[in-house]
Amino acid sequence: MSKLTIEVVTPERVVYSGEATMVIARGVEGDVGIMPNHMPLVTPLKIAPVRIKTVGDKETVIAVSGGFMEVRGTQVAILAESAELPEDIDVERAKQSKGRAEQRLNEKHPDLDIRRAERALQRAISRLEATKNI
């Protein structure tokens, strides 16, 4: 069985490096599933979890905040603004962040940076979704 080599990198560190049978990410055009020997592709990523399926139906989920994914044959590189493994996420803090962002968006204060509040909400939701499997 063919495998992918995947690396998830942020400006600070390599978050994940390993082999996979499939990678599922949310690009700007929608979800995309990558299997070995996929056609070459470069796509911007949305703030959403990336799912990495490994041998034996195991799955690693990584909360990714934007960036790009590049696919070449059996190589997948995700260059993310930020990325967190579930065990690195403070669930309580993510819940509080989600609540704060929702509250800001509901208040509709005239000086509110709506885009920033929406991105904060998306990041908190992505973190919470990534921790569901631990």
Around Cβ 30, how many Cβ atoms within 10 Å? 8
pLDDT of 80-123, one tens digit each? 999 999 999 999 999 999 999 998 888 877 777 888 889 999 99
Predicted local confidence at residue 134, as pLDDT:
43
pLDDT at 79 over 90: yes
- What is the CATH code of the structural domain delimited by 4-84? 2.60.15.10
d(CA 6, CA 4): 6
Given the DSSP bridges, would you call strands 30-34 and 22-27 parallel, antiparallel or unpaired? antiparallel
pLDDT of 15-67, one tens digit each? 999 999 999 999 999 999 999 999 999 999 999 999 999 988 899 999 999 89
List the domain boundaries for the chain: 4-84, 89-133
Residue with tokens 């921790």: 131
**How high does pLDDT run on average in the chain?**
92
d(CA 67, CA 20): 20
CA angle at residue 42 from 41 to 47, to 5 degrees? 125
Q: Which fold has domain 89-133?
A: 1.20.5
d(CA 125, CA 63): 9
**% residues pLDDT > 70 (the chain):** 98
d(CA 60, CA 110): 41
Residues paired with 49 in a beta bridge: 63
Predicted local confidence at residue 21, as pLDDT:
94
The overall pTM is greater than 0.75:
yes
